[in-house]
Amino acid sequence: MKHVLVGNKVIYKALKRYEGPLWKSSRFFGWRLFWVVLEHGVLSWYRKQPDAVHNIYRQGCKHLTQAVCTVKPTDSCLFFIKCFDDTVHGFRVPKNSLQQTREDWLEAIEEHSAYSTHYCSQDQLTDDEEEDAVSAVDLKESLEKAQICQQRLDREISNFLRLIKECDVAKEMLPSFLQKVEVVSEASRETCVALSDCLNLFTKQEGPPSLEITGLQRSLVNWLHVAVPQSAFRCDDDNLGIFLQVVRNFKLEQEQEKNKILSEALATLATEHHELEQSLVKGSPPLSILSEDEFYDALSDSESERSLSRLEAVTAHCFEEEGEHLRSRKYRMSEGKDCGGGDALSNGIKKHRTSLPSPMFSRNDFSIWSILRKCIGMELSKITMPVIFNEPLSFLQRLTEYMEHTYLIHKASSFADPVERMQCVAAFAVSAVASQWERTGKPFNPLLGETYELIRDDLGFRLISEQVSHHPPISAFHAEGLNNDFIFHGSIYPKLKFWGKSVEAEPKGTITLELLEHNEAYTWTNPTCCVHNIIVGKLWIEQYGNVEITNHKTADKCVLNFKPCGLFGKELHKVEGYIQDKSKKKLCALYGKWTECLYSVDPATFDAYKKNDKKNTEEKKNSKQMSASEESDEMPMPDSESVFVIPGSVLLWRIAPRPPNSTQMYNFTSFAMVLNEVDKEMESVIPKTDCRLRPDIRAMENGEIDQASEEKKRLEEKQRAARKNRSKLEEDWKTRWFHQGPNPYSGAQDWLYSGSYWDRNYFNLPDIY
C-alpha cells in the first residue's frame, strides 16, 4: 500500500551508525588522526573512540546535506568532502585498516548525504495548502453522499429493468417508461459527480507534499477497483480508515526523521556555541580550540550553524513582548465608579492588589527547546506552547503597559520648546520597552475579536485595544488623554525569526503620538526584541536596532541606537542617539540604558566623552582589565545604577523599582499585578470580549495550571471551529472597534480607531470564550 501511495518516490530508512578511525587534514597542522562518526546525516570527529561513545569533547562536525565526495585515482586512501557551505574537508583511511576501505566510507557518506538532503530540503506546506487540507469528517460526509447516490441508482436500475419486462404487456406505459429513463439518467449523473468529488477529496488528503496529483489519482483508482466491488462501487469506513492511516503514518515517519536530524544538529551547535562563549568570557579556551586545527573546524561549524538555524516564521505572539509597564495602582471605570478592591484612600480611589492570587510555577523542569525542536520549519505564530511558559496576561494587556510612563507625555505637552518635547517623547519611547527586562514568560495569544480596556484617572488616560487579525497576528490599540491633550495609537504585528539559540521578534507596525495642544504628531517603530538561550543557559532578553522618531510638524528627528550586547557585554542594554533638526544638525544627545534611565546632554560634551571612553577602553584591553566582561552572564538588575552620568546631563526618565515579590510573580511590576484584576462591579460594565474574562488566564493566575491548559486548548479549538464555519459560509471576519487604513502621518498601512467603544453599547459581540 505504501508503494502505491508514494509511487516512484524513494523512501530513506533510518541509517545505521558508521564509525572508525580517519586521518583529517588541517590547514595549520597537517594530518591528524580522529575517530569519525556518521550518524543521522552528520559527520562528527572526536579525539578518541570513548569520547564518541559518550558523545563528549567533539572536535567538530559537518552536516552532509548536498555533500559531494571526490577522490584521487593516484591515492587509494584519500578522499575529499565538499559540503553545502562550499567548505572542503580532506580525509584519509589508515593504511593498516583491514575492515574499512575508502569505498566503504564513500558508500556510507553517500547514503547519509542522500538521507540528510532528503529530509532537510523538503518544502513545508504553505498557509493556503494547510487551509486546503481535507479532514476525515469531510471525507466521510462525501463518502456517505456517494453511497446514498449509489443506492438510489441501484433502486432506479432495478425499477427500470422491471419496467422493461412489463413493457411488452402494457404498451400504454411508454410515457412512464421514458420518464423512468430520465430519472435513471439523472441518478447516474449525480452518482458520477459524487464519486468524482470523493476522488478529489482523496487527492487533497494529507499526502506527501511532493506527490504528483495525476499519479495519486491513478493509484487511488486502482485501489478503489481492487478494494470495492465494481457492481456496487461502495467505499466502506474500514477501507477509508486503512487508507488514511497509511498516508498519515508515512508522513509521520518523514517528519520524525527530519525533525530528529535538525533538532539534534541545532542542540549540538547551540551547546558548543554556548560553551565557547563561556570559555572566552572566563578567559580559558575550551578543549575544542586548544590547537589551530580545532579552531579552524570551529569556524566552519559557525558557518554551518548560520546556514541551518535561520528558520524564519510568522507566532503569534510567542516572544515579541512589545508592551511596557504601567506603574499604576488605581483603576476606575468611565462612569466614575470605583472598580478596585481593598481599603479606600483619601482621594476616594481604592487600593489594588500588590500580588497575584498565586505565585508562578517553577519552569526549571521544562525546556522551551523541548517544544521548539518538534516544530522546526513551522511558523512560530502557529506553535502551541504549553501554558507553563505563559504569564497570566494577554498580549493586549502587555501592550497596555506602553502607558506606564504617561507622565512623560503630559510633561512633553507642557514644554514650549520643540526640542524639550522631543526629549520627553524619546524618553517615553525608551521607557516603553523597560518592562520587558526579565519578562521571559510568554503572554497569551489574543483570540480574534478579544478586547481590553483600561482607564486611569490618576495617570489621565483611557485605552482600548482589539485583536484585529489572527493570521498574521495583529493587535491594535488607541489611547487618549482624559483632558483631550494627546492621542496615542498603533498596531503591532511582530515578525518572528528562529535563529537556533534565540527567538527574535521584529516589530512591524507604526506607533503614533499626537500632542493636540501643539498640533504635533510623532511616529516611530519599536526596536527588535530577542530572547536568548532557548536551548541551553539562562533565558534573557535583549533589545537592539535603530528607532527613528519623527516630528511631522517641525521635521525634527531623534535617532536612537539600541545597542546589541556583544560577546563581552560592554554595550549591554545601552541606548544612545541624537536629536537632529531637518538639516541634520545635532541639537541634543541622549544616552542611558533601556532597563534603567535616560539622560540628555550637549552633543559636543557627549562626543568628547565618547572619544575619551574609547581611548580608555583600548587601554583596558591592552592591560587585560575587562571588568565588564562578565556582564553577558551576570546581568545587572534594572534598578541598579550602572550608567556613568556625564557632567552637565539632565535626567529625563528613571525606571521605578519592582516590588519585592516580583520574581515570584512572573517579574511583574506593581502595575502589571493589577492589569487582570476584576470584580463584580467591573464585570457589569466591560464587554464580554475583555481579556479579564478569559478563563485560561484567570485559571493560571489562580495557580490552576491543569485547568488553564484545558481551557486554553478549548478556546483554541473553539476559535478554529468558528474560523472553519466562516470559511464554509464564505463570511469574512469584521472587526468591531478598528478599521484598516493609511496612517494619517506616515502613510503606512495601519489600524485606526473607529470610535463608539466608550458609549457602552455592546451588542452583537462574538462569543469567543
Instruction: Provide the CATH number for the domain around residue 87.
Output: 2.30.29.30
Please say if the pLDDT value at position 305 is more than 80. Answer: no
Q: In this structure, is residue 586 part of a structural domain?
A: yes
367's grid cell? 525546556
Most confident of 152-156, 400-404, 477-481, 764-768: 477-481
Backbone angles phi, psi at 345, to 5 degrees: -90, 180
Query: Residue 324 pLDDT more than 90?
Result: no
State the Cα–Cα distance between residues 442 and 438, nearest whole angstrom.
11
Where does the pLDDT of residue 618 fall: very low under 50, low under 70, confident under 90, or very high at 90 and above?
low
**Residue at grid coordinates 474500514:** 238
For residue 589, the one-letter residue type is: A
Task: Report which of residues 328 and 456 the model is more confident about.
Answer: 456
* Final residue in a domain of this structure, among 99, 122, 145: 122
Residue 261's pLDDT is: 66
- Tell me which residue has cell 559527520: 43
Note the pLDDT of residue 199.
65
Half-sphere exposure of 332 (CA within 13 A, CB side): 19
Average pLDDT, the chain: 75
Domain boundary among 122, 139, 160: 122
Phi-psi region of 343 (alpha: psi -120 to 50; beta: other; left: phi over 0): beta
- Share of residues in the chain with pLDDT > 70 (%): 65
pLDDT of residue 353: 84
Cell numbers linked to 172: 400504454
Long-range contacts of range 77-82, CB-CB < 8 Å, 24 or more positions apart? 77/102, 78/102, 79/105, 79/106, 81/43, 81/109
Cell numbers at residue 53, please? 561513545
Q: How many CB atoms lie within 10 A of CB 293?
A: 21
Answer whether residue 71 is part of any domain.
yes
User: Is residue 300 assigned to a domain?
Assistant: no
Q: CA 258, CA 706: separation in Å to the nearest integer?
A: 31
Contacts of 40 (CB under 8 A, 6+ apart): 15, 112, 115, 116, 260, 261, 264
Q: Is residue 716 part of a domain?
A: yes
Give the span between the Cα atoms of 663 and 669, in whole angstroms. 10
| pLDDT of 390 over the 60 cut | yes
Q: Are 542 and 565 in contact (CB under 8 A)?
A: yes
Residues recorded for the chain: 769
What's the CATH code of the domain at 407?
Answer: 2.40.160.120
Mode of pairing for the β-strands spanning 58-63 and 749-753: unpaired
What total number of domains does the chain contain?
2
What element of type H or E holds 392? strand 390-394
Q: Check whether 387 has a pLDDT greater than 70.
A: yes
Predicted local confidence at residue 769, as pLDDT: 92
655-669 tens-digit pLDDT: 988 899 888 888 898
18 vs 375, residue with greater confidence: 18
Most confident region among 249-263, 311-325, 508-522 by mean pLDDT: 508-522
Which are the contacts of 713, defined by CB distance < 8 A and separation ≥ 6? none
Three-state SS at 547: strand
CA 412-415-416 angle, to 5 degrees, is 135
Given this model, what pLDDT does residue 145 score? 77
Extended beta strands in 633-703, E state: 650-654
pLDDT digits (tens, 9 = 90+) for 705-756: 889 989 999 999 999 999 999 988 888 999 999 999 999 999 888 999 999 9
Letter for the amino acid at 263?
S
Any idea what DSSP says for residue 507? E
The residue among 468, 478, 540 whose CA lies nearest residue 321 is: 540
Q: Is the pLDDT of residue 349 over 60?
A: no
Predicted pLDDT of residue 244: 60
- pLDDT bucket at 550, cuts 50 / 70 / 90: very high
Average pLDDT over residues 10-39: 81
Q: How confident is the model at residue 127 (pLDDT cuts 50, 70, 90)?
A: very low
Rg (CA), the chain: 33
The string of pLDDT tens digits covering residues 559-607 is 999 998 866 667 888 999 999 999 999 999 999 999 999 999 999 999 9
**Three cell numbers at 724?**
472553519
Q: H-helix or E-strand containing 106?
A: helix 102-120
Question: Cβ distance 569 to 547 under 8 Å?
Answer: no
Q: What is the distance between the alpha carbons of residues 464 and 455, in angstroms, rounded to a whole number?
A: 9
Q: Which domain holds residue 427?
A: 387-615+644-759
Supply the pLDDT for residue 394.
94
Give me the helices (H) in 583-648, please. Answer: 603-623
Q: Which residues contact 197 (CB under 8 A, 6 or more apart)?
A: 142, 145, 146
Q: In the beta sheet, which residues pair with residue 42?
A: 39, 63
Give the percent of the chain with pLDDT over 90: 32
More confident site: 310 or 206 = 206
| 726 belongs to a structural domain | yes
What's the pLDDT tens digit per position in 254-275? Answer: 666 666 666 666 666 666 665 6
Count other C-beta atoms under 10 Å from residue 324's C-beta: 27
Non-local (6+) Cβ contacts of 703 within 8 A are 357, 358, 359, 361
Q: What are 206's three cell numbers?
A: 494529507
Asked if residue 292 is part of any domain, the answer here is no
- E strand intervals along 299-381: 311-312
Query: In 624-687, which residue ranges form alpha helices assigned H by DSSP?
Result: 680-683
- pTM, two decimal places: 0.60
pLDDT at 415: 95
- pLDDT tens track for 79-102: 999 887 778 899 999 987 766 888
Q: Which of 251, 130, 143, 248 is nearest to 201 (CA)?
A: 143
Residue holding cell 535616560? 598
CB 297 within 8 A of CB 407: no
| Degrees, nearest 5: CA angle 19-21-25 | 115
Residue 14 is predicted with a pLDDT of 58
The answer to whether residue 492 is domain-embedded is: yes
pLDDT at res. 265: 63
Q: How many CB atoms lie within 10 A of CB 585?
A: 10
518-527, 586-595, 611-620: least confident range? 611-620
Residue in the structure block whose three cell numbers are 478494494 = 227
Grid cell at residue 296: 579552524
For CA atoms 620, 622, 626, 629, the dihedral sign is: positive
Residue 464 has pLDDT above 90, yes or no: yes
Residue 663 DSSP symbol: G
Residue 500 is classified by DSSP as S
- Point out the domain boundary residue: 66, 87, 122: 122
Let me know if residue 600 belongs to a domain: yes
- Strands 557-562 and 586-593 come out as unpaired
Range in 116-130, 207-221, 292-306, 418-432 the model is least confident about: 292-306
pLDDT tops 60 at residue 226: no
The predicted-structure confidence for 627-638, as pLDDT tens digits, reads as follows 433 334 334 343
Q: Is the pLDDT of residue 347 over 50?
A: no
